[in-house]
Structure 1
Amino acid sequence: MSKRTTVLKNPTVKLFAIILILVVFAFVGCLIALNQMAKAYDPSDKTVVTVTIPSGSTTESIGQILVKKGVIESADAFKYYSKFKSYDGNYKAGSYALSASYSMDKIAKIIESGKTNDITFTIPEGYTEYDVAKKLSKLGIVNKTEFTSLLEGGSFTGKYSFLKGAQSGSHNLEGYLFPSTYSVAANADGSTIINAMLKKYDSIFTAKYKARAKKLGYTENEIIIVASIIEKESGVDKDRAKIASVIYNRLDDGMPLQMDSTVQYVLGLDNNRKKDLSNDDTEVNSPYNTYQNTGLPPGPICCPGEASIKAALYPADTKYMYFILSDKLDDSMSFSVTYKQFLKDKDAYYEARDKSEKDND
């Protein structure tokens, strides 16, 4: 009998071998589990949110906060990972910009560092001031109620000359929170964010634009009102200047603007926007209702981008008085000089839309 066979028959050696194998398997299993924990919760979700870690937070409570914010899947996994990697007990209070696309190790290192990183967010063209508040709140950057109070408080008028010509009251900032991409510290307060957006607007509406508005015979605020209507009414860039011409032609003729977007703004303030307006909707009692009131509404109905501002300043030279969505169903408009042609365009659009919806059922 060989020595090898004798050794393997030794009960002590055999037990040691079994234990060693089990330990190796356990170790490999731990490595696999750790590797799974370390993976990003959702690599495809690049949304960055602000996560605030209060002073005195335990690793377990931090994990629960991260789960609530949607950046990790399991608080327990975060706790075990933190212990294994020796992060436990080293996390620091603060506000951090985090994402579900970050690995757990990256998240842990950011919170351990205690260094506040920047958060980047984009405000699209056509957002109202309340849309801005809603988005920033969803990202965890601001408290919606507190931010809305800042918007409505009127405390920024003295800092920016253009706001002195804007409408007074709670909608003073409507139209001036310029749509763009911003990077701010994760712990930035609402006032800092609003100032950044107002400064951006101020840099866009240059002296050249101010001179052009004056030449047209309109104030800066009136141009922004027109631009906001263009922003909401246009579906494609090429139509913006034509829509502007319709607005100015109607103003010159003393006709009501009859822009659906202004009524939708009123309904939107009550969270009641609609696909199609009814006759009752167009009779809503509001100074913003351009079916019932001639001239411009008292203030902008959204925050327009520079393309719409340019269209308001440099309208197309046309005799158009009407427009409606085109029967091409590509978000472009059909423009007309006469009401008769407008009715034909209207019938063509609804016929095409109804057919498309029926075909897709």
Structure 2
Amino acid sequence: MKKILGYSLLILLVVALFFAWRVAGSATNFSESRKFLYIHTGAASEKAVMQTLQDSGFLKHPGMFNWLASKLKVWERLRPGKYEIEKGASILTLARKLRNGSQSPVNLVITKLRTRNDFAGLVGRKFESDSTAMLHFMQSNDSLKKFNLDTNTVMTAVFPNTYSLLWNSEPQKIFRKLNEQRTKFWTDERKQKAKQLGLTPEQVYVLASIVEEETLRNDEKPTVASVYLNRLNRGMNLGADPTIKFAVGDFSIKRVLFGHINSTASSPYNTYKNKGLPPGPICTPSETTIDAVLNAAKTDYLFFCAKPNGNGYHAFASNDIEHAKNAKAYQQWLDSLNIK
């Protein structure tokens, strides 16, 4: 009897150890350091998740996971989202992660973008919500009015930065996150500086987008900004080449020609034909560039063109004659390089 009892206890111990090994031991079935389980909105169910796990081959024993998940009431608490599965993770770890809704955040990294389509496309590649949904949101004045924006100024809320969000965040929630950064940036001091320039924060952003396209040199951005502010104050057309490229839809253009200007005459972004600022930004400028506009240099410059050396700096002029000389030198340099 004692031998039978001993054998029984041994068998129970072996079973318990085997069970513990299956539950708490490594259960993943992939070689990468991590993979992600995506649970889509409307598909947060036992059937859908188990089908994904079986089709993907994430786990060695998906049936064991299903049993444990049922015992831990995972399926009753399951929420859509993006969940990280690290190599060597146990089914217990994954079950707890799903039950607790412990999603992996998505980092939305925004650098320079030019259009609403660019931004919507970025969102579509990073989140469950597709680009069409974000574009629809950005093209709806009803959606934007709560942010004091419209379809022209909507991109002035998109500041280059890194934003942490959940994968299943809807367009409105994503935009609300962006607007938090916008609100944080526009301090009372910055708003006052904009007011002293006779501009709204949105107009400062628009002008900064032009300056951003004109020069990569941070140390000359305040001077470039001064040129455009001087033109605005004198009632002159801005005559900004980047706005023509934006109107054409081709930023690879090396030399803006009369053909480009004339073909976009009806565009509100043609600053050769229309006075004042364009209705919206032509790119997402850095905060450094926006501050360069707010702290523009005090100059009498009305013109500038690239210097004929390719170093990215510009020659500035306060009159037509001086500018014509600078422009001729640059054009001759382009011709020498056979740049059309």
Normalised by the length of structure 2, the TM-score is 0.72
Give the match for residue 13 of structure 1.
none
Q: CA deviation at 1:50?
A: 8.9
Q: CA deviation at 1:245?
A: 1.0
Counterpart check, 1:117 vs 2:95: no
Q: Does the C-alpha gap of structure 1 residues 309 and 156 become closer, same or farther in structure 2, counting only changes over 3 Å?
A: farther
Unaligned 5+ residue runs, structure 1?
1-33, 43-48, 65-74, 356-361
Q: Counterpart amino acid of 1:94?
A: P
Q: Does the C-alpha gap of structure 1 residues 106 and 201 become closer, same or farther in structure 2, counting only changes over 3 Å?
A: farther
Distance 1:289 1:354 in 2: 27
Pick one of 293, 301, 316 that aligns with 1:335: 316
Kept in 2, the 8 Å contact 1:40–1:103? The answer is yes
Q: CA deviation at 1:192?
A: 0.7
Residue pairs, 1:1-361, within 5 angstroms = 37-40=30-33, 51-53=38-40, 54=43, 55=45, 56-57=47-48, 59=50, 61-62=52-53, 75=56, 78-79=57-58, 81-83=59-61, 86-87=64-65, 94-96=80-82, 103-105=86-88, 113-114=97-98, 115=101, 116-160=103-147, 163=148, 168=150, 170-268=151-249, 272-276=250-254, 277-283=256-262, 284=264, 285-337=266-318, 338-347=322-331, 349-350=333-334, 354=338
Kept in 2, the 8 Å contact 1:329–1:353? The answer is no
Kept in 2, the 8 Å contact 1:51–1:97? The answer is yes
Give the match for residue 8 of structure 1.
none
Over the residues paired in the alignment, what is the CA RMSD in angstroms?
Answer: 3.4
Q: Counterpart amino acid of 2:81?
A: S
User: C-alpha deviations, 1:64-114, integer Å up to 9, x for none?
Assistant: 6xxxxxxxxxx4xx25x432895467596621065xxx8544698658721
Q: Does the C-alpha gap of structure 1 residues 144 and 40 become closer, same or farther in structure 2, counting only changes over 3 Å?
A: same
Q: CA deviation at 1:60?
A: 5.5
Q: Percent identity?
A: 22
Q: CA deviation at 1:157?
A: 4.4
Kept in 1, the 8 Å contact 2:304–2:317? The answer is yes
Q: Does the C-alpha gap of structure 1 residues 295 and 140 become closer, same or farther in structure 2, counting only changes over 3 Å?
A: same
The number of residue pairs the alignment matches comes to 292
Give the match for residue 3 of structure 1.
none
Unaligned 5+ residue runs, structure 2?
1-26
Q: Does the C-alpha gap of structure 1 residues 239 and 351 become closer, same or farther in structure 2, counting only changes over 3 Å?
A: farther
Q: Does the C-alpha gap of structure 1 residues 260 and 51 become closer, same or farther in structure 2, counting only changes over 3 Å?
A: farther
Q: Does the C-alpha gap of structure 1 residues 349 and 63 become closer, same or farther in structure 2, counting only changes over 3 Å?
A: farther
Q: Counterpart amino acid of 2:110?
A: I
Kept in 1, the 8 Å contact 2:108–2:162? The answer is yes
User: C-alpha deviations, 1:233-281, integer Å up to 9, x for none?
Assistant: 221211211110111122233332121221222233xxx4433344322
Distance 1:267 1:112 in 2: 53
